[in-house]
Structure 1
Amino acid sequence: MAAFFGLSKSSNVLLNNVSALRGIRTCAFQTVPGYTEFSSKKVRNVFTDFFKEKYGHRLVPSSPVKPRGDPSLLFVNAGMNQFKPIFLGTADPRSEMTQYRRVVNSQKCVRAGGKHNDLEDVGRDVYHHTFFEMLGNWSFGDYFKEEACLMAWELLTQVYRIPQDRLYVTYFGGDSALGLKSDEESREIWLSMGIESDHVLPFGLKDNFWEMGETGPCGPCTEIHYDHMGGRNAAALVNRDSPEVVEIWNLVFMQYNREADGRLRTLPQHNVDTGMGLERLVTILQGKRSNYDTDLFTPILRAIQESSKGPVYRGLVGEADVGNVDMAYRVLADHIRTLCVCIADGVYPGMSGAELVLRRILRRAVRFSTEVLQAPPGFLAGLVPTVAHILGDAYPELNRETNRIMDIITDNEVAFLSSLKQGRRVIDRTLQKMEDSRVFPVGVAWSLHRNLGFPLDLLGLMLEEKGVAMDTEGLDKLAMENARHKAQTQQSELGSCVELDVHTLAELQRRGVPATQDAPKYAYRLGEGGKYVFSPCQSTVLALYCDRSLVTEVEEGRRCAVILNQTCFYAEQGGQAHDQGYFIREGQQDVLFPVENVQTAGGYVLHEVTLAETLRLGDQVQLFVDVPQRLACMVKHTATHILNFALRQVLGDGVEQRGSHVAADRLRFDFSFQGTLIIKQLQDIEQTIKDIIQRNENVYTEEVPLKLAKRIQGLRVMDEVYPDPVRVVCVGVPVDCLVKSQTDQQTSIELCCGTHLLRTGEIKDFVIVSERQLVKGISRIIAVTGEQAKEAREAGHTLAQEVDSLSMRLESGIHTLSEAQRLSKEVGQLIDAVESTAVPQWQRRELQTTLKALQRTANTAIRKQEAKEAAKKVQTLLTKHGDKTLVVDTVDADSISVLMKVANQFCDKSPGVFTMLLSQQHSGKVLCACQVPKSSVGVLSAVDWAVAVCTHMNGNAGGSVIVAKGTGSTSDLEGVLKWAQEFAKSRTQKRLN
């Protein structure tokens, strides 16, 4: 076998341990001679093939970097993330995930924001990245320490042929304070493989004990480090952040669980989780010292140089990198990879969470491209095809989404360049006012960050270049206050008792508590008159979970999770909200136990209940689902499937579902589409759905083996882990016909665990009440059904009548200013009503277009009437003041715009006159308008005059040296007139004389 695999004699140490390597199979796997001949693609494939073909691992595709159902993560940041349900014991027993024993893959990872954040280091050195690929192999209750170490060493030294003397191994050296012993088992394994003792090094908790989070599975780890220099003993540089000696592979042995009180408990099943950075491994195998010198980055660096016309990348760091040019190259090469991968996986630059982090990454890249490399606009998006070319074979979604990624990056770049320009002006003005201070005001910094989306790290860099520091302590306080506020708003979501830890799940299995039979949730039929009849469900209490432990009884008034042998309640999953309802104990019809929440974990359905009486194990209960709420969800879920089908019918097969949520009151559906839907498209989508509703087609459901289901023509399969067998839901065609057919049936066919109608007619009506773009290329539809849809149509009809009536009144002519103002106000109120009322979206768009035109008509009428009214008042002023050169008087005017028109027209008729007009309002407020001759700008400024008079009235004003306006308040208007006149005379005495 050694000869077959091309192994050297020294590899016999490995093969002598063949009894430990269970599952070794003869295969055609070959090593590649000469480790400098590896391309990045080959490195990735050799890794997965090694574990798949030789050691029987299952190759699992990378999950998207957008976590599914894991609010604890901003991004997938490690290969183990998608396997957390296995580690935590919460995987659905029917899913293929529970069958995993040995797994291998290359996982897309992003570490930016949250606990693992490498963003600040990217560009400053040659090995940190926000996006990277993690090669990993896993064992779930199969092999453990010895086999994992043997496989890793064989791959590195015999397949990749990395010199053994350049490798150093670390292991957990124990922690006496926590009572953790040294992992001598791992140490002995490495020594038994012939590794020199001075290359096997112990380290503490920080370096060699891995934890998933504050609580959860954890355990000691052993790491493999590589010395780029060689020919020396580099043990002293291991784990010292040296660029010469870097960690390449971490083997985690999950054998404990960290409890909420900090204690460690042995896990019921031991698992292995390994992770090796592809970028660092490729650097070694291609004989480089920098990740950026490998074929994962060099094409991007070339593209940057060609597009920016900048200097050639030299790989300089620190002070040697004059002007941060090479740092900019590294930032752009790293960030464009992250942007491409994230956007392709459904994470878009936004204002919160992962979206905010991605926005920050994009803006950091734009800043470096424009300010350091002086690259032209659109430069960043131009790098996308290069990234797709490098990574597209491994992650084909990058090729499919290239155009959309470019569009999103371009749109965000344009927006940020505008913000950057505005922010730079704010920074420059602030620096000019700072005088001798060298610390930038924290209030201005936070305003730039909060209001303009200005990344604080970019602000820091820009200030650093100008020799000014940021008040980081003050900013930290503001950030902490902001985080505290967010935490308080999320507090109400905590405290649920329907989350079971890995030990509780294991204890349930040890006690022989079977998984909950939830097939009764589908036990309903159409009765007389087309009314849905839900079968009764009798159940037995098998487990009670209260205060984080399993108990035999729970007292009245306490909240707990109840596990039953069977249930008709639908647990929240598949985008559908959970059922509500209650159950009663056998023989006690008057005592209700309200079910507040229903979730699933590890095959158990947990009913969250606040007890009206003491509940005990073994109690017999009868379950009652809230039928109206369940039916409403069934209606919305079936309507969602039909909407998905209708979108493809109207918009084309390029439409892809990007997310959905079904609740009793409405449905939400996100999908890929370039642009906003036009009115005709919205109408066609609704009509397609209404046709299916009117045909009252049957809705067929059937469980089918997963492999068989995936062969169904026209079926859209999401990037999810499905149970096996899987439930197929089809409108109008029996599922067995779909399985047998080789043609696309042109109907709605989906894999779905949700509850659905039996016939489409029960939907009754369907209305899209909202459609908008979340980001470029992704749209969101909100829709209602049944009575709500009817109400939306009626509301739309009523608003349309009001708009028609208003339009006729405007067309009949406007004869007074008050009439024009009243009609303008009514137009504004209708605009608000159309925006906020649930009406068909196509009709909303029509009404909004009409109302915008009416608003323009009303505004034009107001201007005309104001001009007419001003002309009358001007005539009165001309008669009253004759040939005066200074006019300070009162005018009866309802608005500042009318008063300004009077002043303007009066000055046109009386050139050379200094004019100030005041108007007392019923509220007591005084309006002020003034204008001075252009030829007298140096004599008296209009804005100075207005500011002085309005300040005298405890108000304020603004304007130019020619024209100004303001407001104030006074009970002595005559006194103000005299004061205004005297002020003007004192400034213009010579001119007025």
Structure 2
Amino acid sequence: MSYYYYTKLFISNRNIHFSFVRQISKYVHKDISAAAIRQTYLDYFIKEREHAFIRSSPVIPFCDPTVPFVNAGMNQFKTIFLGSQVPHYTKVANSQKCIRVGGKHNDINIVGKDGYHHTFFEMLGNWSFGDYFKEKACEMAWELLTTVYKIPPSRLYITYFGGDDHLGLPCDIETRDIWKSLGVPNNRLLPFKAKDNFWEMGITGPCGPCTEIHFDHMGVINRHEFVNKNLHDLTEIWNLVFIQFNRLPDGSIVPLPRNHVDTGLGLERLCCALQGKLSTYNTDLFDYLIKAIHKNCSEIQKYSGKFGEQDWNEIDTSYRILADHIRMLTVCLADGVIPEQNQKLKRVLRKCFILCETVFKKDGTLVKELSNYVVENLGGVYPELERNISQIHNIIDYELEVFNTIRTTAKKDWRKFSIGRNLPNIDSLDITPSFVKAYKELYDVKLNEIDGELAYRLYDTHGFDLEAIEQLAQILNVKFDAVTFETKMEEVKLNSRAKRQLFIDDKIANLLGEGFEKTDDSFKYSYSKNKDKYQFPEVECKVLQIYNKDQSLTEIKTGSSCSLILDKTNLYFEAGGQESDKGQIKFEDGLFEVETLKKFKNYVIHKGYVKEGSIKVNTQGSLRVNEHIRLSNMRNHTCAHLLNAAVKKIRSATCQKSSKVTQNYVSFDVSVFGPKLNFQDIIAVEKLIRDIIKENLSVRILITDSQGLYSYDQITLIPGDVYPDNDIRIVEIEQGSDFVSREPCCGTHVLNTSDLQDFCVINLKSLGRSTASIQGVTGDRAKLARDNAEDLNEDLIRFKKSVEEHLDKPEMLEMAIISLKQRLNFQITDNTILPYAYKLKIMEELNAISRDIKGKTSDQLRDLVEMEMQDAIESNMQLTKSKKKYIIYYLRISTMLESVSLKRATALCSNIPVIVIAYSDNMVKARCCVPKVIL
């Protein structure tokens, strides 16, 4: 055990007193690892205190559009606090991955400048949903810290809610007395107002007092007066929130029917406390990564832990920034956050590339290398890192390639603009061509400030986010009013929402009035299979409303188009990329054809026309779905899921962009991070899906809520999509461990993969640098494509047999090839569709035949060039009588030649101006000659 002495100086009645105090600076757990600290926490609550373990949710929220990243442990439990869900367990504990790079909690600009702010951190938490409350929560927290972790109580301070007149709430005496009963002395038990010790989820909703535990790294004297003063050596480590109130829209606060506990203990800060470090970068959560940076950049000085002015060259700051950002981006990429869809992540990733290049003298591949260390360190706790390591690497490689391309172009533009101007160095900044363009626009304006209006124009015109505008202001050396920019952005959003709502109100909502019951559309999922036949039961429904051309009607007759709102429907309205159903409603006095459906709020609108008779409001009818269209849609929607899983299996780093499901085809747009999808990839994807069809695998539908959503392994969630809190339908297809398709979906699906019957890719289109569109067909359409391929193949065989005997007629052979090639051009909805792989194969074969024909007949054809030109000259001479003194001629025989010498053609026209045009080897050529003397 080591000791140290310190001198305590105090002044009393003009006399100076010195006293020497012996203090322990090393306690039992100083050498404990972060992994052991994390596991001890979980073991305490799960094994000793019977909490259920809930694993960390992904860092991107899929059921909460209000935050860009999960920034606290409670995010995945918000629906329980709001009362919209019943908890699966009443006591839970976990370690949650958290990201803070935007919004209310934006630490990105502070990272590296101090020793404890991070973009990624881990939050240890324990929750009670209507189980234990204040006494038990405080007791367990105190026991864990002081008995299990053996932190001396003399290092701890407790704050509690001291009441707030504005809220109309008294002091939380109950919590104060609980801490007293646990032995916390009055001079370490401190009341604070709502700013520090009252937690609220939002302007309205669940809220309550909280009590915080602060750790004193010095621990030599009582420093209670410095609590909550933002000292780096006296920090909050644990916050216990007691959710017992609900704030109503009128501002009043009322008790909740059940009390909850929500706690958050920062692992990084706890490690500092237990490992005797003032900076989290000196703990083993970061030490391994900082050493890895130096290992890969040995020519750079070692990390020495300096801050502020002592870190004069900012090398240590750069170590800290790179280490923090590598952890953040590795975790994000493993959780499926895509940089091209998330500007915050893209900016962090590019900042890492720039640091590697400018500070650590390495190219951006260092980022990928360092991500391996993060996976090795955290993969045991968060297995998705190990599972998705290929995805992490592929996306980093792809983004580095994009970054280098963009940056090279931007630097060229910057150098051109710099000529004759004294411009700042941009090597350490994330500069794009659009950034340079914006700088050029503002350079000569002589701005003093970028205000909200100008900032919004930069956002609207150039796609600048807040950080990009701040960077632009920096190199322009002007102020940036971020507050007015945020105000302007919010104003635009509100106006946009208001316009959309006004349009909807004018068109539909005013027609509905009040008191209509919502449309029960659950029957769209009510279908079954008897042997090989799908059965779609009819639904008895009632007409609630009829409207046409913005007018409400009580009756409508034969031939009239209108929209019906029903109390029940078994038809699927357009959603999730799937087209709406079609169907018929049979009434006693009429028949209504449903052509399409839309949903507005809780109402399903059936658009169509009266085929027979008349229809009145409140009449009953029988609604039947068009079974052929529905089944075709179901096949193609299930196929879309198989495509998503198959492409991901073939090329690990992928992200679905969109899909379109119709009765005729499925169109699946996917981003692939790495080399573009090629012919061999499509062959592999097609074979994989056809094998899955032959396996006769069940298509299972599982119903869960947002709590259950995150409990699934290998589930595909689409970044940018917001899933509902409840009644989430999971579509699952498993082929052991070899193939898993599992994703949330509101669409309708077949019950077995064999019901797809067959599948083939019809087309592959590039939609940009990383995105491709795969178009495919199933069922009868797939059979049609293969039948068409057989027919074309038979015609091709016959043609190949006739080539040798018709070499003396090359023009006829070429016309035959052109005719066969024309059959390769089709639309996805045509009945002449062909499998994509077959189409490419035939195109290649026809091109080879064409080259062969041209090679065998080239000498003969070259002689024909002179013959054709002689005919052209003679024809022109006939025209000279009408004073035509030139020749413009297209050489028809050129299409038969691999190459054509136009010099040979124009040489025949020595005494007249001539332009000869040819088309050979997919290229248009032309030659113009004018004689010195024109006769």
State TM-score, norm by structure 2: 0.65
Give the aligned residue type for 1:634: M
Q: 1:271 offset after TM fit, Å?
A: 1.8
CA distance in 1, matches of 2:504, 2:83: 18
CA RMSD of aligned residues (A): 6.5
Task: Map Cα deviations across residues 1-59 of structure 1 (whole Å, 9 max, x no partner).
Answer: xxxxxxxxxxxxxxxxxxxxxxxxxxxxxxx9713121000000011011111211011
Q: 1:284 offset after TM fit, Å?
A: 1.1
Q: Which of 317, 337, 356 is 1:327 aligned to?
A: 317
**Residue 223 to residue 700, structure 1, CA distance change in 2 (3 Å):** closer
Matches of residues 553-568 of structure 1 in structure 2 within 5 Å? Answer: none
Q: Which of 528, 532, 535 is 1:533 aligned to?
A: 535
Q: Which residue is 2:307 aligned to?
A: 317
Q: Do the aligned residues in 2 keep the contact of 1:145 with 1:272 (CA within 8 Å)?
A: yes
Q: Which of 149, 154, 160 is 2:138 aligned to?
A: 149
Matches of residues 862-877 of structure 1 in structure 2 within 5 Å? Answer: none
Q: Which residue is 1:42 aligned to?
A: 36
Matches of residues 14-29 of structure 1 in structure 2 within 5 Å? Answer: none
CA distance in 2, matches of 1:780, 1:637: 15
CA distance in 2, matches of 1:496, 1:320: 61
Matches of residues 536-615 of structure 1 in structure 2 within 5 Å? Answer: 536=538, 596-597=598-599
CA distance in 2, matches of 1:349, 1:286: 35
Q: Which of 20, 40, 51 is 2:45 aligned to?
A: 51
CA distance in 2, matches of 1:794, 1:494: 52
Aligned: 1:118 with 2:107: yes
Give the aligned residue type for 1:56: E
Q: Which residue is 2:480 aligned to?
A: 472
Q: Do the aligned residues in 2 keep the contact of 1:364 with 1:458 (CA within 8 Å)?
A: no
CA distance in 1, matches of 2:421, 2:460: 21
Give the aligned residue type for 1:635: R
Aligned: 1:444 with 2:444: no
Give the aligned residue type for 1:282: C
CA distance in 2, matches of 1:561, 1:782: 34
Aligned: 1:301 with 2:298: no
Q: Which residue is 2:361 aligned to?
A: 374
**Residue 78 to residue 867, structure 1, CA distance change in 2 (3 Å):** farther
Q: Do the aligned residues in 2 keep the contact of 1:834 with 1:844 (CA within 8 Å)?
A: no
Q: Which residue is 1:735 aligned to?
A: none
Q: 1:359 offset after TM fit, Å?
A: 1.1
Task: Map Cα deviations across residues 143-192 of structure 1 (whole Å, 9 max, x no partner).
Answer: 12222222112212222122223322333344434444444433333334
Q: Do the aligned residues in 1 keep the contact of 2:353 with 2:364 (CA within 8 Å)?
A: no
Q: Which residue is 1:984 aligned to?
A: none
Q: 1:767 offset after TM fit, Å?
A: 3.1
Q: Which residue is 1:508 aligned to?
A: none
Q: Secondary structure at the match of 1:343?
A: helix
Q: Secondary structure at the match of 1:99?
A: coil
Q: Do the aligned residues in 1 keep the contact of 2:138 with 2:178 (CA within 8 Å)?
A: yes
Give the aligned residue type for 1:311: Q
CA distance in 2, matches of 1:258, 1:273: 17
Q: Which one is further off, 47-56 or 781-790?
A: 781-790
CA distance in 2, matches of 1:115, 1:800: 64
Q: Which residue is 1:718 aligned to?
A: 715
Matches of residues 479-490 of structure 1 in structure 2 within 5 Å? Answer: 484=492, 488=496
**Residue 280 to residue 636, structure 1, CA distance change in 2 (3 Å):** same
Q: 1:407 offset after TM fit, Å?
A: 3.5
Q: Secondary structure at the match of 1:37?
A: coil
Aligned: 1:360 with 2:347: yes
CA distance in 2, matches of 1:474, 1:146: 44
Q: Which one is further off, 377-386 or 828-837?
A: 828-837
CA distance in 2, matches of 1:532, 1:84: 40
**Residue 663 to residue 726, structure 1, CA distance change in 2 (3 Å):** closer
Q: 1:702 offset after TM fit, Å?
A: 9.3
Give the aligned residue type for 2:330: C
Q: Which residue is 1:766 aligned to?
A: 759
Task: Map Cα deviations across residues 669-727 of structure 1 (whole Å, 9 max, x no partner).
Answer: 9799975555355345435655776x795858699999xxxxxxxx9863899999999
CA distance in 1, matches of 2:278, 2:779: 65
Q: Which residue is 2:176 aligned to?
A: 187
Give the aligned residue type for 2:325: H
Task: Map Cα deviations across residues 59-80 of structure 1 (whole Å, 9 max, x no partner).
Answer: 1211222322333332222212
Q: 1:85 offset after TM fit, Å?
A: 3.4
Give the aligned residue type for 1:419: I
Q: Which residue is 1:336 aligned to?
A: 326
Q: Which of 125, 129, 140 is 2:118 aligned to?
A: 129
Q: Secondary structure at the match of 1:255?
A: strand
Q: 1:101 offset after TM fit, Å?
A: 0.7
Q: Do the aligned residues in 2 keep the contact of 1:675 with 1:776 (CA within 8 Å)?
A: no
Q: Do the aligned residues in 2 keep the contact of 1:380 with 1:410 (CA within 8 Å)?
A: no
| Structure 1, gaps ≥5 residues long | 1-31, 498-512, 542-553, 600-605, 707-714, 732-737, 739-743, 816-822, 878-890, 911-993
Q: Which residue is 2:10 aligned to?
A: none
Matches of residues 637-652 of structure 1 in structure 2 within 5 Å? Answer: 637-639=637-639
CA distance in 2, matches of 1:860, 1:232: 97
Give the aligned residue type for 2:631: L
Give the aligned residue type for 1:328: S
Aligned: 1:390 with 2:358: no
Q: Which one is further off, 680-689 or 194-203?
A: 680-689
Give the aligned residue type for 2:386: N
**Residue 537 to residue 335, structure 1, CA distance change in 2 (3 Å):** same
Q: Which of 762, 774, 778 is 1:785 aligned to?
A: 778
Task: Map Cα deviations across residues 111-149 of structure 1 (whole Å, 9 max, x no partner).
Answer: 123443221111222111111111111111111222222
**Residue 869 to residue 318, structure 1, CA distance change in 2 (3 Å):** farther
**Residue 767 to residue 148, structure 1, CA distance change in 2 (3 Å):** same
Q: Which one is further off, 103-112 or 240-249?
A: 240-249
Q: 1:745 offset after TM fit, Å?
A: 11
Q: Percent identity?
A: 34
Q: Which of 52, 57, 67 is 1:73 aligned to?
A: 67
Q: Which of 833, 837, 842 is 1:842 aligned to?
A: 837
CA distance in 2, matches of 1:607, 1:493: 16
Aligned: 1:686 with 2:706: no
Q: 1:379 offset after TM fit, Å?
A: 1.8
Task: Map Cα deviations across residues 403-453 of structure 1 (whole Å, 9 max, x no partner).
Answer: 442343233224323433443454455566556999999922899999999
CA distance in 2, matches of 1:488, 1:828: 47
**Residue 522 to residue 191, structure 1, CA distance change in 2 (3 Å):** same
Q: Which residue is 1:933 aligned to?
A: none
Q: Do the aligned residues in 1 keep the contact of 2:826 with 2:833 (CA within 8 Å)?
A: no
CA distance in 1, matches of 2:283, 2:846: 59
Q: Which residue is 1:413 aligned to?
A: 400
Task: Map Cα deviations across residues 805-851 of structure 1 (whole Å, 9 max, x no partner).
Answer: xx999x999x9xxxxxxx99xx9999998999997443576689899
**Residue 632 to residue 390, structure 1, CA distance change in 2 (3 Å):** same
Give the aligned residue type for 2:400: E
Q: Do the aligned residues in 1 keep the contact of 2:392 with 2:653 (CA within 8 Å)?
A: no
Q: Do the aligned residues in 1 keep the contact of 2:542 with 2:620 (CA within 8 Å)?
A: yes
Q: Do the aligned residues in 2 keep the contact of 1:570 with 1:598 (CA within 8 Å)?
A: no
CA distance in 1, matches of 2:700, 2:149: 50
CA distance in 2, matches of 1:191, 1:64: 39
Matches of residues 95-106 of structure 1 in structure 2 within 5 Å? Answer: 98-106=87-95
Q: Which residue is 1:14 aligned to?
A: none
Q: Secondary structure at the match of 2:105?
A: coil
**Residue 842 to residue 65, structure 1, CA distance change in 2 (3 Å):** farther
Q: Which residue is 1:169 aligned to?
A: 158
CA distance in 2, matches of 1:620, 1:424: 70
CA distance in 1, matches of 2:571, 2:366: 54
Q: Which residue is 1:7 aligned to?
A: none
Matches of residues 872-951 of structure 1 in structure 2 within 5 Å? Answer: none
Q: Secondary structure at the match of 1:269?
A: strand
Q: Do the aligned residues in 1 keep the contact of 2:698 with 2:733 (CA within 8 Å)?
A: yes
CA distance in 2, matches of 1:120, 1:333: 15
Q: Which residue is 1:951 aligned to?
A: none
**Residue 866 to residue 748, structure 1, CA distance change in 2 (3 Å):** same
CA distance in 2, matches of 1:313, 1:855: 67
